[in-house]
Amino acid sequence: MTKAVDPSSQSPALQSLDMRSRDIFRRIVDSYLRDGEPVGSRSLSRILPSSLSPATIRNVMSDLEHLGLIYAPHISAGRLPTQAGLRFFVDAFMELGDLSDEERRAIEAQVRASGSGATLEHMLTEASQMLSGMSRGAGLVLAAKNEVALKHIEFIQLEPTKALAVLVSQNGDVENRVVELPAGITVSQLH
């Protein structure tokens, strides 16, 4: 399960960031996860709720670069989160937990009730409803209609046996998936 966490309870580095820096960092990561492209200070100034100048945002971005959380792929580019920045984001803003025994039993019962003759569409609907009920939030499950070539893939280790895979397709779609790592395989071996 994924849930929001109070960021100030997570990391000394995050605690050293003021609210403006946290917000800018979070917007950079959100933009990267959504679009897979660098984001610049001018773009951020348009989407931030507070009216900050691009120059002020560049100063904050410089601090975030100094902390190793973001980088510029080239001199005139916007910024992207680093591997450490993505890891920091996951640690600071998300908490992944295991399913309870009750949740596992509910899922198993739902799968058994669906039967082996269920259509893909029916199974996806059931999965969405289960996710929604368990997370007490909106559930959305999508199945790819066709194969699309990947432009970029990045792995961020969450646990010794789990990683977040950030997939950017040639058409610009970005997907994030938590994947189990096979025994003996590390994230560094996937690069």
Residue 114 belongs to a domain: yes
Range of the domain at 129: 101-135
As for how many domains the chain has, the answer is 3
List, as own/partner pairs, every contact residues 156-161 make where C-beta atoms lie below 8 angstroms and the sequence separation is at least 24, other chains included: 156/83, 156/86, 156/87, 156/90, 156/187, 157/87, 157/186, 157/187, 158/90, 158/96, 159/96
* pLDDT value of position 115: 66
The verdict on 52 and 122 lying in the same domain is: no
- Identify the pLDDT of residue 116: 65
Same-domain check for residues 14 and 88: yes
In terms of average pLDDT, the best of 15-19, 43-47, 151-155 is 43-47
Whether residue 144 lies inside any domain: the answer is no
Kindly state whether residues 86 and 170 are assigned to the same domain: no
Q: pLDDT, tens digit, for every residue of 54-70?
A: 999 999 999 999 999 99
Do 34 and 89 lie in a common domain?
yes
- Asked whether residue 140 is assigned to any structural domain, the reply reads no
| Residue scoring higher pLDDT (62 or 121) | 62
What pTM, to 2 d.p., does this model score?
0.50
The answer on 91 and 118 residing in a single domain is no
